[in-house]
Amino acid sequence: MSRYSTISVTAEVDIDDVIHELDDEDLVEELENRGYTSFKGNFNSEIALTKEEIDLLIAHIDIRELPLDWEWKRIRDKLMALDYAL
């Protein structure tokens, strides 16, 4: 016979009751631990690159006559990561 019992508890929490008790640093840390990137300020979607624009930049890098040095390869890798994220 076991001396310990397992008890399951289900609770509903209203996020509005919790969110105001956390500071910004705690929220940013939690999001970044989950793999998200955060930044302070307003995001201007008008300056964000579209998938088509990223594809065009990758294509221009790929058709260069000169061999790719490490800087171009690094930029291309970043563009490829952005392309797959969209």
The size of the chain, in residues, is: 86
The per-residue pLDDT for range 38-83, each reduced to its tens digit, is 777 776 667 788 889 999 999 999 888 778 888 988 999 999 988 7
Q: In the prediction, which pLDDT does 1 show?
A: 54
For 12-48, write each residue's pLDDT tens digit: 767 777 777 778 888 888 888 888 887 777 766 677 8
The pTM of the full predicted model, rounded to 2 decimals, is 0.47
Which pLDDT value is given to residue 25? 86
| Burial tier of 74 (Cβ tally within 10 Å: 0-12, 13-18, 19+) | exposed
